[in-house]
């Protein structure tokens, strides 16, 4: 394993733990940018943010990133590093391999439930945290050379997956990791869809509309078929199957709500 590895991902995704173990295993230097920030400023992130605010933290974070990237080895980053265009540019321009450690929001929240050192976790409401999540997830994905799903995995397993990315059979490992990540995103989207379904059911309840509007569903189906007409992966039959699955799930959901 040669060049620098940068680990990115949301708070609590395991960047520091995995980074430490990975560096040990591969006999490389390990740097945690949050720790480097503390060394650089002589103050904890919590009190730095309390005194100077998040914007000042981000500016300083960029300086630390730029400086520490002069080193090689394993570098774990703070969860918000991707929010700044400059940081993303610095990381993308470096010749480091960027690995996104992806975990579900629910997993992250439960892992950090008792954390008192992460200021943002304390300051943000659940809605704000979810907004941050939604903002960052696509940024992590687009910056990463590889994504590793970390839910329910022990750090040792994740470390082995990272190491495998650099071994000759890495193509399969990397593709599998990518497909796992897509599956997670699909299930997350379905869950989000069901939340909207609940809201629709409430409106229907209030306005006396019936649960199913067949015309609307047929229209949706044909719009999708039109949109994916030229996509050889997506046949009309597949769209029918997906729409059947989505609508039957939501109709069951709505019916339950109507009682
Ligand atoms: C932050 C995450 C923290 C730390 C700071 C801000 C964020 O790092 O950089 O509290 O914006 O998500 P971890 O991802 O290591 O918790």
pLDDT at 113: 79
Q: Which residues contact 198 (CB under 8 A, 6 or more apart)?
A: 253, 257
**Which residue among 78, 87, 103 is best mutated to probe the pocket of ligand 1, counting the most ligand atoms within 8 A of its Cβ?**
78
Q: What is the rounded distance in angstroms from the CA atom of residue 215 to the CA atom of residue 89?
A: 47
201, 250 Cβ separation under 8 angstroms: no
The verdict on the CB of residue 119 being under 6 Å from ligand 1 is yes
Contact between 11 and 108 under an 8 Å Cβ cutoff? The reply is yes
9 lines ligand 1 (CB under 6 A): no
Q: Which atom of ligand 1 is nearest to the CA of 119?
A: 10
pLDDT of 180 reads: 84
- Using the atom order of ligand 1, give the atom closest to the CA of residue 117: 10
Quote the pLDDT of residue 231.
Answer: 93
User: What sections of the chain are H helices per DSSP?
Assistant: 15-26, 33-41, 45-68, 85-93, 105-111, 119-123, 126-143, 155-165, 170-207, 214-227, 236-258
Question: Angle, nearest 10°, between helix axes 236-258 and 170-207?
Answer: 50
Q: Taking the CB of residue 16, how many other CB atoms lie within 10 A of it?
A: 19
Looking at ligand 1, which residue's alpha carbon is closest to its atom 15?
78
In whole angstroms, what is the distance from residue 122 CA to residue 6 CA? Answer: 26
Candidate of 20, 34, 115 to mutate for ligand 1, largest count of ligand atoms within 8 Å of Cβ: 34
Expressed in angstroms and rounded, the spacing between residue 132 Cα and the centre of ligand 1 is 12
**235 vs 216: CA distance, rounded Å:** 21
Residue nearest to atom 9 of ligand 1 (CA): 78
Q: Helices (DSSP H) in 166-230: which residue ranges?
A: 170-207, 214-227
Cα gap 135→117, rounded to integer Å: 22
Give residue 215's pLDDT: 84
Query: How much distance in Å is there from the Cα of 179 to the middle of ligand 1?
Result: 27
Give the pLDDT confidence score for residue 62 in this predicted structure.
97
Report pLDDT for 124: 83
CA of 118 relative to ligand 1 center, distance in Å = 7
The CB-side HSE value for 259 (13 A sphere, CA atoms) comes to: 2
**79 CA to centre of ligand 1 in angstroms:** 4
CA of 27 to the centre of ligand 1 (A): 26
* Cβ-count burial 147-186 (b if 16+ within 10 Å, e if not): bbbbeebebeebbbbbebbeeeeeeebbeebbeebeebee
14 lines ligand 1 (CB under 6 A): no
Q: Which two tokens stand for residue 82?
A: 């991707």
- Say what the pTM is: 0.70
* CA-closest candidate to residue 129, choices 248, 7, 11, 253: 11
Q: Would the CB of 45 count as within 6 Å of ligand 1?
A: yes
- pLDDT values of the chain reduced to their tens digit, one per residue, 259 residues: 457 999 999 999 999 999 999 999 999 999 999 999 999 999 999 999 999 999 999 999 999 999 999 989 999 999 999 999 999 999 999 989 999 999 998 888 888 877 878 878 778 888 999 999 999 999 999 999 999 999 888 899 999 999 988 876 767 777 777 788 889 889 989 988 888 888 888 888 888 887 777 788 889 999 999 999 999 999 999 999 999 998 888 888 777 776 6
For the CA of 16, the closest atom of ligand 1 is 15
């Amino acid at each position: 394993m040669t060049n620098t590895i940068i680990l990115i991902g949301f708070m609590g995704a395991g960047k520091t733990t995995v980074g430490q173990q990975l560096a040990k295993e591969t006999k490389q230097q390990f740097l945690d940018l949050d720790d480097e920030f503390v060394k650089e400023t002589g103050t904890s992130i919590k009190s730095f943010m309390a005194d100077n605010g998040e914007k000042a933290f981000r500016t300083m974070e960029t300086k630390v990133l730029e400086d520490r990237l002069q080193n090689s080895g394993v570098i774990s980053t703070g969860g918000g590093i991707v929010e700044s265009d400059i940081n993303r540019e610095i990381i993308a321009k470096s010749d480091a391999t960027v690995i996104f450690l992806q975990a579900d929001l629910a997993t992250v929240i439960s892992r950090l439930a008792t954390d008192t050192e992460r200021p943002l976790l304390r300051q943000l409401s659940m809605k704000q945290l979810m907004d941050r999540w939604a903002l960052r997830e696509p940024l992590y994905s687009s910056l990463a050379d590889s994504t590793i799903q970390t839910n329910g995995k022990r750090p040792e397993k994740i470390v082995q997956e990272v190491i495998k990315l650099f071994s000759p059979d890495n193509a399969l490992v990397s593709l599998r990791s990518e497909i796992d990540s897509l599956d997670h995103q699909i299930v997350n989207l379905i869950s989000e869809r069901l939340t909207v379904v609940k809201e629709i059911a409430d409106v229907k309840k209030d306005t006396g509309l019936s649960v199913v509007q067949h015309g609307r569903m047929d229209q949706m189906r044909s719009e999708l078929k039109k949109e994916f007409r030229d996509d050889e992966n997506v046949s009309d039959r597949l769209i029918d199957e997906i729409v059947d699955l989505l609508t039957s799930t939501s109709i069951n959901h709505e019916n339950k709500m109507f009682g």
